[in-house]
Amino acid sequence: MGLYYYLTTNPKIKLFKLNIASLENNLSMSFFYEFYLTDLNMDAFICGK
């Protein structure tokens, strides 16, 4: 989960850490979710375990 680690430790996007944790706690074990990081101008796709 290198991308997940980057997203949750990068100081510019700490904001997303709680959102990601919330999604992991509320969605099923197998899922995909995405969000747009405007500051980095990129799309991030994260797959749950």
The three-point CA angle 7-15-38 to 5° equals 75
**Burial class for 10, CB neighbours closer than 10 Å (0-12, 13-18, 19+):** middle
pLDDT bracket for residue 32 (50, 70, 90): very low
Contact 33, 46 (CB under 8 A): yes
> What's the pTM?
0.17
- pLDDT at residue 31 above 50? no
For the residues 38-45, what does the mean pLDDT come to?
A: 45
Orientation of helix 2-9 relative to helix 15-26, angle to 10°: 130
- pLDDT at residue 47 above 50? no
- pLDDT at residue 11 above 50? yes
pLDDT of amino acid 20: 59
User: Cα-flanking dihedrals φ and ψ of residue 10, to 5°?
Assistant: -70, 125
pLDDT of amino acid 5: 57
